[in-house]
Structure 1
């Protein structure tokens, strides 16, 4: 029999003003079935002005008193995620083999690490390339959702809203271009020199593209999932869409293979409508009517799926906001440098 696969894992948590969520996040990690002597947590605070640091210290004391994983709190002078993760890489114990990326407004099931370790062993045995990353499914946060949160979750569960990205409701383990909430091989991360700190957002997309270019395999598994708190207002939903579009352009400029023509369909639709308005005005309403019809059908489908009548209004609103803000962000990405996110 071969040796049992028991990776030594460090969970890295860059945080900023996460007092509403960090306690639940850390306690979900403390309660892991995975042996605590094989798991530790590094929290990188980017200058929180709320009770985040206090709550992290309390969780660290609780973990120590209950035999849980060690929790270290460090200041992240760079403030942003990429800087925090790179800083954590410089602090890893020598024996660390894998790094798990999470965020402060997420929680995981008690068997999350155990499942990832088992899946890693299984996939590495069948994958010809060295395995660098194993991602998870992204699910709604635990607990009752507000109306806007319900609209957002329904929209992200739609093919018109997820785009096959990190919120894709995939059902089978498979290779993946950009996995979410990844368990990484430490060796692979070091092989590509960590995260690119010029990416304030989408730093994980950039890392995944560089890992793939280096010859590594990237996978995702539905057997492991992360519950994530998303947007709770339409204004933040708009800002999130713009940010995603903006940084998609920055990623494509560095990695042209990341280009997806479907993400430019709203612009093609707008140009088509304008051309018809100038040349055949009688037909200019057809693209708009077709788009409205698709939104209506999707709203009906989501309402029947989730049993929430308000989705008849909420899904079309959220889809229009997402398509518009993302499309504007795509163009904005060509025009200026990035800045800190304001959509949380």
Structure 2
């Protein structure tokens, strides 16, 4: 190998992009095209892990495989994920991939044009084992615009850097992630008992083993929000349910931001009961919450159409109440099952 080729391989290492998908007919093609259009000079492959979809996801994936079969750069291939679970899909895709840098992308996420090149540079500059950036929510209709505004506002998600932005810094976890393969292989991949929060759990083990997790606002992934109130409520109920599992799994990982939604649910429920049975003053609590999210939706919805702005309070309430209810009703039995599957961090051999 010539010095020029060796230098190019160091600067532009080969990359495997892994993507778990389930019922993603609406966004899959666009997500894969955003990968294939990356401004990156290194070799690249795309591995799509197919869950048991009930829509045209498998058909679209087959088309992408056929269309890229003759590519020297950016070939798409698929692997089965019969369980439909995200961590199982990720592990199957990792196993089927081959390159030293592994980029995780979801079927409804669109990478910015220089995402991979920037991530590879950051891995080199920081020495991190995993880097990630902004989950940049963008809608395609009035409801999705409202959800996107809620998901990128502090009243919606607090001070979470990967939602609202912030300075480049060491992090506990990051959105999606661009990994050194050695870190994934060293830790044995994702813990498949974590149906949600599997990123946090894997990054926890990487950190325990001495690896650096790095957040940078230079990295941005456009994210398509859930298309209905019902779907958003399920998503955030699952988030809250699994955040409580994480809190039980790892004592000390909880903070005030995570306790705010369950506290709000309890306070609003108590206020409504007091208001209905004892005194109208009890309604001050739910009324105050409603006033707060209506007021908070004004700056969050700046620049959006009126129909979208009007739905932001609905999106905020759905997120807060569903997350809080999921946290409060998360069963101890689920946490015990997950704790029983605990994998100790694997330290790098000297």
Normalising by the smaller structure, the TM-score range is 0.7 to 0.9
Q: Give TM-score scaled by structure 1 length.
A: 0.85
Matched residue SS, 1:136:
strand
Q: What SS does the aligned partner of 2:164 have?
A: coil
Distance 1:271 1:230, change over 3 A: closer
Aligned residue in 2 for 1:325: 322
Please give the secondary structure, in 1, of the residue aligned with 2:11: coil
* Closer, same or farther: CA 230–290 of 1 in aligned 2, 3 Å: same
* 1:20-31 superposed matches below 5 A: 20-31=26-37
What secondary structure sits across from 2:326 in the alignment?
helix
Quote the residue 1:300 is aligned against: 298
> Would you say the 8 A contact 1:18–1:105 is kept in 2?
yes
Name stretches of at least 5 consecutive residues in structure 1 with no aligned partner. Answer: 125-130, 339-344
Match of 2:90 in 1: 85
8 Å contact 1:299–1:316 — kept in the other structure? yes
Residue 128 of structure 1: aligned partner: none
User: How do residues 169-180 of structure 1 correspond to structure 2 at under 5 angstroms?
Assistant: 169-180=164-175
Paired with 2:263 and 2:112, the residues of 1 have a C-alpha distance of 42
By how many angstroms is 1:165 displaced? 3.8
The residue number in structure 2 matching 1:119 is 122
Is the 8 Å Cα contact of residues 154 and 164 (structure 2) preserved in structure 1?
A: no
Q: Report the equivalent of 1:14.
A: 20
Deviation at 1:289, TM superposition (A): 3.9
How many aligned residue pairs are there?
326
Pairwise CA RMSD of aligned residues? Answer: 2.8
Distance 2:198 2:180 in 1: 17
**2:204 aligned partner:** 209
Aligned to 2:347: none
2:274, 2:56 → 1: CA distance? 55
Residue 89 of structure 1 and its aligned partner are, at CA, apart by 2.7
Hey, what does 1:55 align to over in structure 2?
A: 60
Equivalences for 1:259-338 in 2 at 5 Å?
259-269=254-264, 271=266, 274=270, 277=274, 281=279, 283-303=281-301, 305-334=302-331, 337=334
Which of these residues, 102, 105, 112, is aligned with residue 109 of structure 1? 112
Distance 1:51 1:166, change over 3 A: farther
What are the residue-to-residue correspondences of 1:67-216 with 2, within 5 Å? 67-93=72-98, 96-124=99-127, 131-141=128-138, 145-165=140-160, 167-216=162-211
Task: Please state how far the C-alpha of 1:307 moved relative to its aligned partner.
Answer: 4.0
SS of residue in 2 equivalent to 1:168: helix
Q: Which moved more, 1:292-301 or 1:96-105?
A: 292-301
Unaligned runs of 5+ in 2: 336-350
Matched, 1:242 2:248: no
Q: Is the 8 A contact 2:265 2:321 kept in 1?
A: no
Q: Which stretch of structure 1 is more off in the superposition, 261-270 or 185-194?
A: 261-270
Deviations 1:263-293 (A, max 9, x none): 2234434555748949x95753443343233
Please give the alpha-carbon distance, in whole angstroms, between the structure 2 residues aligned to 1:262 and 1:114.
Answer: 33
TM-score normalised by length of structure 2: 0.83
Q: For residues 137-194 of structure 1, give each alpha carbon's deviation from its aligned partner in whole angstroms, at most 9, with x where no partner exists.
A: 11234xx721110110111121121234475121432222220020011111222221
Distance of aligned partners of 1:25 and 1:272 in 2 relative to their CA distance in 1, 3 Å threshold: closer
Q: Residues of 2 paired with 1:270 and 1:220: CA distance?
A: 31
Distance 2:280 2:23 in 1: 53
